[in-house]
Amino acid sequence: MGDVPWLVALCGLAFYWRLGYPSLFDFNEGLYVQAAREMLLRGDWITGTVNGIPFYDKPPLALWCAAAAFRVLGVSELAARLPVALAATCATLVTYGLARAAMGRRLGLYAAAFLALNPLFMGTTRQMTMDIHQTWWVTAAIGAFWMLERPAARMRWIWSTAFWACCGLGFMSKSFPGLLPIPVVLVYIGVTSGGSLRRAWERFARLQPLAGIVVLALIVAPWHVAAYRQSGHYFIEQYWYLHHVGLLKATDFDHSQPVWYYVPMLFVGFLPWSVWLPFVRIQRADSAVSDESSRTRVLALTWALVIFLTFTAMRSKLISYLLPMYPACAILAASVFSDPMGTYRRRLAACAMAAIGLNCWIVVGLTASVLSPLARSSTDPETIALATPDMFAFACVALSGLGLGLIVAGVCVWREARCGVAPAVAGMCWFVAAACTIGLPAYERSVNEPLRRIVAEASRRMVASDTNQTRLVIHIGRPRRPSVFFYLPESLFRQKPATIKREAILLESWDAAPVRDFIRENGRSMVIGDFSHASKTLAGYDVRVPARNGRWALFEAQPSGTLR
């Protein structure tokens, strides 16, 4: 019970504090949240839609969780993100439990802090996306296998069933990467069986693979069959060809990266704890003779490497793909403190930690002297939106406090490795506090709020005029902002078509021709878009601008006598 307050405070700060703020981020969060909202509004739990178009990006477990939260708590940003925060909490607790059981209470807390307090994990947890759901189920599957492997394990069938069930739920969270615990376990068994094929087979047989395949099929197959029956070839084309084959080959998505991409991305995303990863000591482990700490470290290393190498082999790469290996990285980083470090290794780590802190201060100086004036002179509207005094104030406050914490941590590590954890954790807590109190409000005011006000005005006019409810154009280009749909009246998306429609309910287009054709066919229409771009598109029409906020504007347009 002594660790409960620490874990509650850690998860509360990292995952829950101001979780419902700001409004939705684009692109992915806006897309997923609107798909869950339309799923609930239409009562169709097989096919999520975005603006009426079937959404077969990934399996729908995350959408189901968000839609269920909407039903219980009402439709809001907090409800959309709460299942993700719960998944992150569960992953943190399992990571803590594994590290504590293998290496002791202190290192269990270290592992939990390392997982919860890093930029990528925290940032992803505060959005409704699918990566944290998948990370949780991968972590749960590895945890179930770890319990199965314990010499004193009882009722092993429960843990083997849990392993396969978690793999299936991981698949339903984000498709095939959810099955990565299976190769992780196979490689680990091979490495720790002392070269004995018989022992390896006996350990693998404990997983009851035949029964496991049945469990997997019972979890994964029903939705896939139902989706195919409902959408037929469209499901095959969108789900399998586009979002699986196309993503794997990086032919249909702008995700192609070089083979070395994940090396710097792991270092940056797992900061500052990535400093400890090169100092992990791995001893050869044998399941029959090694201690639990050694076996757990080998399992964590296998877990991390299998996932890292799998995604490295893919052409399509995103930094968030590495999240399922973060619990393993947290355990490995914590394991560094299980044995005394040599003077040379400890001081090298101290220099690295202090160097990162010093770089934070350098960035603060560059922000004030170079980046701020440079950003203000930019003509890119996305850069202009971010180049506000409040955003620069956040960068200075957050990075200066984080830098100080890491420099102090480096000084402490120089003397004794464990002493450096507390100031580094304090620095990361400072960063989170600054992000929640300064950064997120600044981002909301500069990026989200101007467009939200325009959408709110459009919604008010659509509700007030039944005849014009569907005559709306979203005239926004890259990056798309599907979150706009989330803030439009729910009555637009409530109707459930007799058959799956391929057409959108509202026109969404950056090109001028579809917008002009839409207005010509429908008459008086509202257009939400960039003022400069939309003004050019609507040239030759009768146009009125009832609302404008920054670069965004709401137009009322109708055909005139001189179309160009």
Residue 564: per-residue pLDDT: 41
pLDDT digits (tens, 9 = 90+) for 82-128: 999 999 999 999 999 999 998 889 999 999 999 999 999 999 999 99
Average pLDDT over residues 488-495: 82
Distance of CA 200 to the CA centre of its chain: 36
Query: If you average pLDDT over every residue of the chain, what do you get?
Result: 87
C-alpha to C-alpha distance for 397 and 532, rounded to whole angstroms: 35
Query: Three-state DSSP class for 530?
Result: strand
- Strand bridging mode 525-530 / 507-508: unpaired
Band (pLDDT 50/70/90 cuts) for residue 59 is very high
- Strand bridging mode 53-55 / 48-50: antiparallel
Range from 224-228, 314-318, 376-380 carrying the lowest mean pLDDT: 376-380
Count Cβ atoms below 10 Å from residue 12 Cβ, excluding itself: 13
Band (pLDDT 50/70/90 cuts) for residue 255 is low
C-alpha to C-alpha distance for 509 and 502, rounded to whole angstroms: 15
Measured at the CA of 238, the angle between CA 219 and CA 503, to 5 degrees, comes to 120
Contact status, residue 50 vs residue 493, Cβ threshold 8 Å: no
Q: What percent of the chain has pLDDT over 90?
A: 54
Band (pLDDT 50/70/90 cuts) for residue 290 is low
Average pLDDT over residues 339-359: 87
Q: What's the token pair of residue 495?
A: 């109707």
C-alpha to C-alpha distance for 154 and 174, rounded to whole angstroms: 31
Contact status, residue 516 vs residue 564, Cβ threshold 8 Å: no
C-alpha to C-alpha distance for 170 and 139, rounded to whole angstroms: 10
Beta bridge mates, 557: 525, 543
Band (pLDDT 50/70/90 cuts) for residue 254 is low
Residue 469 has pLDDT above 60, yes or no: no
Average pLDDT over residues 242-260: 70
pLDDT digits (tens, 9 = 90+) for 131-160: 999 999 999 999 999 998 877 767 788 899
The answer, yes or no, to whether the previous bond of 183 is cis (omega within 30 of 0) is: no
Which residues touch 151 (CB under 8 Å, ≥6 apart)?
A: none
Domain-wise residue ranges, the chain: 4-20+76-243+260-339, 344-448, 451-558
Beta bridge mates, 53: 50
What 8-state DSSP symbol labels residue 526? Answer: E
Band (pLDDT 50/70/90 cuts) for residue 248 is low
Band (pLDDT 50/70/90 cuts) for residue 369 is low
Residue 227 has pLDDT above 70, yes or no: yes
Count Cβ atoms below 10 Å from residue 416 Cβ, excluding itself: 12
Q: Which range has the top average pLDDT, 308-317, 340-349, 457-466? A: 308-317
C-alpha to C-alpha distance for 50 and 504, rounded to whole angstroms: 8
Closest CA to 495 of 505, 485, 503, 487: 505
